[in-house]
Amino acid sequence: MKCWTALLFGWSIVMVAQTKAADNASLERWAGCYELHVAHEDAGKQIWGNLPHRFQLLTQKANHKRLFLMKGRVLGADIHRWPFTFWTVSEAEELKIEWGLMTGYLVRLTKSGNRLVGTAKAFTDFGSDMPTLKVRVHRMPCHQEFATE
């Protein structure tokens, strides 16, 4: 048992060492407010409720068990449905956003012109096969009215 524990501990140290956080300049480029649209043909696949329509990526580090996650927040009426938002950027400039804890969506986006395109994969802590939805996202101004919602 001690051998397995030592092996797992060593492996986790190697994984953390190989995982690099995005630099501050990269995080600042991604921070801001966005609007998300689910592809019409995938709208009915939103099994955990509708994905947030508007959200904000903040430059605050999240207090989360996984390293290198940043905080975000859902804007508008969806805020009560999705109180937990985490995000990160890979070295390949892929934006990853998570909504939810035990059930939710993992959104992976890459730049395509002046917008972001990608997928939203539903997840659950049970790990069963979940639907993937096509999404597109574009930046929008951060309006003051969102700060109080």
CB 55 within 8 A of CB 72: yes
Q: Is residue 99 assigned to a domain?
A: yes
| 92 lies in some domain | yes
Handedness of CA 7, 98, 130, 49 (dihedral sign): positive
- Spell out the residues 6+ positions from residue 83 whose beta carbon is closer than 8 angstroms to its own: 74
Q: Which of 33-37, 58-62, 75-79 has the highest mean pLDDT?
A: 33-37
Give the rounded distance of the alpha carbon of 126 from its chain centre. Answer: 19
pLDDT one-digit tens code per residue, 86-111? 898 888 889 999 998 889 999 999 99
Task: Give the total number of structural domains in the chain.
Answer: 1
Burial of 36 (0-12, 13-18, 19+ CB in 10 A): buried
The answer to whether residue 11 is domain-embedded is no
Range of the domain at 74: 21-148
Asked, for residue 54, whether it belongs to a domain, the answer is: yes
Does 72 fall in a domain? yes
Structure confidence at residue 66 (pLDDT): 54
